Amino acid sequence: MIDLHCHFIPGVDDGPQTVHEAVDLAEMAVADGIRLSVLTPHVHPTRYSNTRSSLRQEFEAFHELLQLRKIPLEIRLGGEMRLEPESFELILREEVPFLGEVDGYRILLLEFPHQLIPVGSEAFVDKLLELKIRPLIAHPERNKMAMQNPERIRPFVDMGCWLQLTAGSFVGQFGETAQKTALYLLEQEWVWVLATDAHNCKHRPPNLSAGFEAVSHLLGADLAQRMVYDRPARILGLPERGGA
């Protein structure tokens, strides 16, 4: 499996704060059946001063550590960009790490604020699409406004955004309402990929297999496989198992 969204790099955001915790997360990912993790630190200018340039050195140091420890997890650098006006400047400066490219569009992991979908979000997304950047919206099932009414996500899907749901949401890790919202989005066939959004070993572990098993049970193993391997592989420019 491929995990497109997780927080393993120590000390750069609200993920692991120590190298020991970060290594434990990588080992848990391998044990869960994940062979490649895209590390996506928060790119949130008003809270974390992360940029593509600043994160590269931290990423390389962590990569060397995994090799030294002989942990068989392939990693790549991405980022989870918060939707806020200050973020757009980072895009123009080429300081946001993208996940990959599909059909001429760079794929950006885009996070809404947890409590709301800000006024002007559709205009923000429209500007991204004009720049040939396709948003992959992170964990919309955990957004408070989307939990109140999942149809609030429909305009973004109609515009061409993809959705990334959190594997743990399907097993109640973020509460019953987030679980129901995840199921609704899945039933609408709006979900593009599953990922872990792992932050720590105890409460936010890399448990992609839980999402795979849930989707397999609900809609079949073939769709689940597309969500945890084929579509992530396509984004990363890797060979796919079959059609995505």
CA–CA gap between residue 200 and residue 4 (Å, rounded): 16
Domain boundaries of the chain, sorted by first residue: 2-236
CA distance 61 to 88: 28
Q: Are 90 and 54 in contact (CB under 8 A)?
A: no
* Averaged pLDDT of the chain: 96
Confidence band (pLDDT; 50, 70, 90) for 240? confident
- From the list 176, 206, 177, the residue with the least C-alpha distance to 194 is 206
Encode pLDDT of 84-103 as tens digits.
999 999 999 999 999 999 99
CATH of domain 2-236: 3.20.20.140
Beta bridge partners of 133: 106
- pLDDT, position 242: 55
Helix/strand/coil (H, E, C) string of the chain?
CEEEEECCCCCCCCCCCCHHHHHHHHHHHHHCCCCEEEECCEEECCCECCCHHHHHHHHHHHHHHHHHCCCCCEEEECCEEECCHHHHHHHHCCCCCCCEEECCEEEEEEECCCCCCCCCHHHHHHHHHHCCEEEEEECHHHCHHHHHCHHHHHHHHHHCCEEEEEHHHHHCCCCHHHHHHHHHHHHCCCEEEEECCECCCCCCCCCHHHHHHHHHHHHCHHHHHHHHHHHHHHHHCCCCCCCC
CA distances from 24 to 10, 141, 206, 208 (A): 11, 27, 10, 16
This prediction's pTM: 0.97
Q: Around 160, how many Cα atoms within 13 Å sit in the side-chain half-sphere?
A: 15
Q: Which residues of 41-79 are buried (b: 16+ CB within 10 A; e: fewer)?
A: bbbbbeebebbbeebeebbeebbeebeeeeeebebbbbb
Q: Kindly report, residue by residue over 31-86, the tens digit of the pLDDT.
A: 999 999 999 999 999 999 899 999 999 999 999 999 999 999 999 999 999 999 99
pLDDT in tens, 196-227: 999 999 999 999 999 999 999 999 999 999 99
Q: What single-letter amino acid sits at 223? A: L
Kindly state the percentage of the chain with pLDDT values over 90. Answer: 97
Quote the tokens at residue 156. 């973004």
> What residues are paired with 191 via a beta bridge?
163
